[in-house]
Structures are given as C-alpha cells and as structure tokens.
C-alpha cells in the first residue's frame, strides 16, 4: 500500500483568532481549513492584518474529520510573527499562481488553503525555530537610572586586606582557585577577604579584628559560604562541598 506523502499547507486564520491564541499552545483546530487533511500533514498557520502576513505557528495533524483536526504544535506556543519580505519568497504547488502578487490584496490571495513547496515550508520552519531561540530576548527591563540611596555600612580597615594577602597569598583558601593563573596578573587581587565572624553581628562600636579572623576566598566560595548553614565554620563548608586547598591548615 502506497504511503501518504505529507503535505505542507498554508492555512489562514482570522486575526482576532491570532490575538486570542498568542502565547498559547494549540492542540485542536476547527473549520474548513482543517478539512481534507490527514495524519502527518502540516499546517503553517497565518493571519493577515493591514495587508501584512503574520506567521502564528506550525501544527502537525494527528487525526481529523470533515471540519476539525487534533494536532500537535511543532513550534511551541503561537506567536504573531510578521513575514514582511519573506512572504514574497513563498512558493505554492497545485495552483495557477505559484507566488503571492504585490498587485493584489494579501487576504484575498490566502483565503483558501494553499500547498507550500518543500523549500517554502523549510523557510517558515526555520523562521519559527529562530523565533523560539529568541523568545528569552523578548524579556527586557529598564535599568540604569540614577537613584539616591541612604544606608549604613560597616567600616573595614583596608590595611587588614593588604596584610592578609601579603601573608597568605591570593589563592582561595577554600578551593585553591588562582586568579592569576587563569586570567593573568591583572586579576591577581580579585580574591576577596571574608570575616570568619561576620561583622554584621558586631555592636555599634565594632570589633577588633586580627589576621586570624580573616579568610582569603574567591567570590564563588564567598557567596556560597554566606548561604551555608554555619558560615563561621568554613572548614565544615569545605568538607561538605568536597573542596580542598593547601593554602591554610
């Protein structure tokens, strides 16, 4: 028995439907555009507005009836993507006009479902795939405005940082990370200094700090250590994370 060759059809939906399904997954369709399709056929769903053609998504037919079809989305949730110049590159099969004309209104030319050439189906499929990769790029926020903030800050003596680095070096004392070896000399002092007993617990007059109260540490270990159940016990943190360094006993 000869197997059915899957068809790629350009199917028109109303623009109001496009607005309704934007951002949603489609699992079924109803109407004349679903009739005559069989399992494996693909629908590239479009809409028109102000003489522009919009691509919404691609569906593959699972089963169908006279005016309905159960489908699976090949392109994730539907999006309203303007085709712009791409629409003039579309080619159709089994029709007297193999391409869209700039001399006639777009909606009239796509009112009936049209069979796409394999090259045109690939063109639309590639556009949908590219849109999926860029969805995260649609997320944005306004940043960079100046803002006056008043806060209190614990004083730190910069001499202690210089002294502890001079005495114990610039390798992370928890994991052994070496900024200079990885990035070069310019990054040697990117290492941070951690207070084993957090300064935030000190009173208003502060505390006296010695070099033994400090830990030379990389930013990753520093951030994780502050989230550890007992940030004061850096050796327990080191063991729990399976880290090792010969920088300090």
Strand, helix or coil for residue 231: coil
Question: Architecture of domain 8-133 in CATH?
Answer: Roll (3.10)
114 exposed, middle or buried (CB, 10 Å; 0-12, 13-18, 19+)?
buried
Q: What is the pLDDT of residue 2?
A: 46
Per-residue pLDDT of the chain in tens (249 residues, 90 and over written 9): 445 678 999 999 999 999 999 888 899 888 877 777 889 999 999 999 999 999 999 999 998 888 888 999 998 889 999 999 999 999 999 888 899 999 999 999 998 889 999 999 999 999 998 877 665 455 555 666 777 766 555 556 678 888 888 999 999 999 999 999 999 999 988 999 988 876 655 556 566 778 888 889 999 999 999 999 888 889 999 999 988 765 554
CA–CA separation, 225 vs 101, rounded Å? 65
11 exposed, middle or buried (CB, 10 Å; 0-12, 13-18, 19+)?
buried
Report the b/e string of 158-190 with b at 16+ CB within 10 A: eebbeebbeebbbbbbbbebbbbeeeeeeeeee
Q: Is the pTM of this model over 0.85?
A: no
231 exposed, middle or buried (CB, 10 Å; 0-12, 13-18, 19+)?
middle
Closest by alpha carbon to 156, among 214, 87, 242? 214
Q: What is the pLDDT of residue 155?
A: 54
Longest dimension (CA), the chain: 90
Give residue limits of the domains in the chain: 8-133, 158-240
Q: What is the pLDDT of residue 110?
A: 92
CA–CA separation, 17 vs 136, rounded Å? 24
Residue whose structure tokens are 């350009």: 10
């Amino acid at each position: 028995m000869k197997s059915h060759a899957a068809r790629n059809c350009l199917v028109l939906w109303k623009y109001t439907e496009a607005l309704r399904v934007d951002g949603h997954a489609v699992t079924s369709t109803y109407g004349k555009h679903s009739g005559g399709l069989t399992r494996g056929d693909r629908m590239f769903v479009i809409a028109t507005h102000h003489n522009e053609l919009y691509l919404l998504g691609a569906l593959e037919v699972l089963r169908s009836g006279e005016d309905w079809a159960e489908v699976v989305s090949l392109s994730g949730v539907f999006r309203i993507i303007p085709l712009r110049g791409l629409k003039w590159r579309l080619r159709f099969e089994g029709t007297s006009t193999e391409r869209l004309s700039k001399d006639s209104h777009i909606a009239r030319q796509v009112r009936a479902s049209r069979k796409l050439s394999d090259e045109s189906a690939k063109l639309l499929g590639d556009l949908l795939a590219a849109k999926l990769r860029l969805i995260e790029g649609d997320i944005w926020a306004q940043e960079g405005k100046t803002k006056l903030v008043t806060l209190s800050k614990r004083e730190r003596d910069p001499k202690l940082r210089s002294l502890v680095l001079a005495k114990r070096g610039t390798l992370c004392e928890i994991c052994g990370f070496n900024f200079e070896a990885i990035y070069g000399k310019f990054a040697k002092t990117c290492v941070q200094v951690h207070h084993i007993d957090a300064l935030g617990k000190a009173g208003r007059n502060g505390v006296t700090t010695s070099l033994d109260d400090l830990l030379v540490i990389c930013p990753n270990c520093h951030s994780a250590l502050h989230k550890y159940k007992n940030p004061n016990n850096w050796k327990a943190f080191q063991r729990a994370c399976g880290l090792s360094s010969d920088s300090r006993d």
